Amino acid sequence: MIKLERASLRYGAVLGLSPTSFELPEGGGIVGLLGPNGAGKSTLLQLLSGLLPPSGGSVEVFGQAPYRNPAVLAQIGLVPEGDRLPVGLKGRGWLRMMGRLSGLDGAPLEAAMAKALDTVGMAERADLPFPRMSMGKRQRMRLAQALMHAPKLLILDEPFNGLDPEARLTLMALLRELADGGTRVLVSSHILSEVAQLTDRILLLFRGRLLAEGGISEIRQLLDRHPVELRLSGEARALARWAVEQPELVALALEESAAVLSIRNPRDFLPRLQKEAAKGGLPLTGLDPLDLNLEAVFQYLTKDHA
């Protein structure tokens, strides 16, 4: 279905995507494209959805280059990042236009539009102008336009940004349903837990490079090898005495009323810390993770891979 062979993309002097190769076979299921902001996720999605041609190498989707290729574009649905919709139009009229631009007309168009609106739960509210819809509803309309022509490949770029928790869960359920129905769904995100809720198949991108490809457990193991810094507030010396007995400890620094720990496998360490504090065995008054962000983890992984 998707095949990249040393595909790269430059924005002038800036390298958006280093030569990257991978393959995704035909069939349904969800693939998560994970990486911090600026990792090259959107660039990769733009290559796959035919918006941009590769600067080097080759990109094939359904066996053909997707750039300005109607035969490929007819099988792709794209939900771009951001809350962007044309000004001055109403949902249903816009969807009708997008359907016509996909070659639908007459009764099949109306049926496809009704089905797409029903799928995203917007059948009753599609006649509103876009500014009168909530962000979640606008996101559903964007999804509806991508579903109208029943694409075999659905590409979503950071679809959960700005959505409230309820809208997020609804969208996740919808994507799972589509994937179960045979649609290949490719979702980009910079939040690991978000992708982990959706799929166990991940492509890990960082600074324009494909770092890893695999299941969520393999990626988690990679992430667990990254030492995490935690500041434990309370009686520093007592906390330090307990910490040095823990196998995950990598480094320790004492401050006036806190101990700064560098630990591996935080998912093993933190429950034990919590249990000990709950028993009253630790004079702990506060816990601050200092670098538990994806950027730090990715930087670690890059060094690790180098």
β-strand partners of 29: 184
Q: What three-state secondary structure class fits 281?
A: coil
| Nearest distance, CB of residue 88 and other proteins, angstroms | 5
Nearer to other proteins, 142 or 226 (CB): 142
- Minimum CB separation of residue 172 from other proteins in Å reads 22
Calculate the alpha carbon distances from 214 to 5, 23, 61, 150, 294 in Å: 18, 12, 20, 28, 17
CB contact at 8 A, 286 and 233: yes
Smallest separation (angstroms) from other proteins to the CB of 84: 5
Of residues 105 and 118, the one with the C-beta less far from other proteins: 105
CB of 62 to other proteins, least distance (A): 12
The CA distances from residue 30 to 199, 203, 219, 233, 254, in Å, are 6, 11, 16, 41, 45
Enter the tokens of residue 170. Answer: 């609804």
- Residue 41: count other Cβ atoms within 10 Å of its Cβ: 25
Per-position DSSP letters for 24-64, written without gaps between them: E-SS-EEEEEE--TTSSHHHHHHHHTTSS--SEEEEEETTB
> Residue 109 Cβ, how far from other proteins at the closest point, in Å?
10
List residues near other proteins by CB under 8 A: 9-12, 16, 42-43, 45-46, 49-55, 67-68, 70-71, 73-74, 76, 78, 80-82, 84-90, 93-94, 96-98, 100-105, 142, 145, 149, 157
Of 79 and 216, CB closest to other proteins = 79
- SS3 of 214-225: the string is EEHHHHHHHHHC
Cβ-based nearer residue to other proteins, 42 or 199: 42
Residue with Cβ nearer other proteins (87 or 107): 87
Choose between 11 and 164: whose C-beta lies nearer to other proteins: 11
Dig out the tokens for 298 from the structure.
Answer: 């990715």
State the minimum distance, in angstroms, from the CB of residue 213 to other proteins. Answer: 23
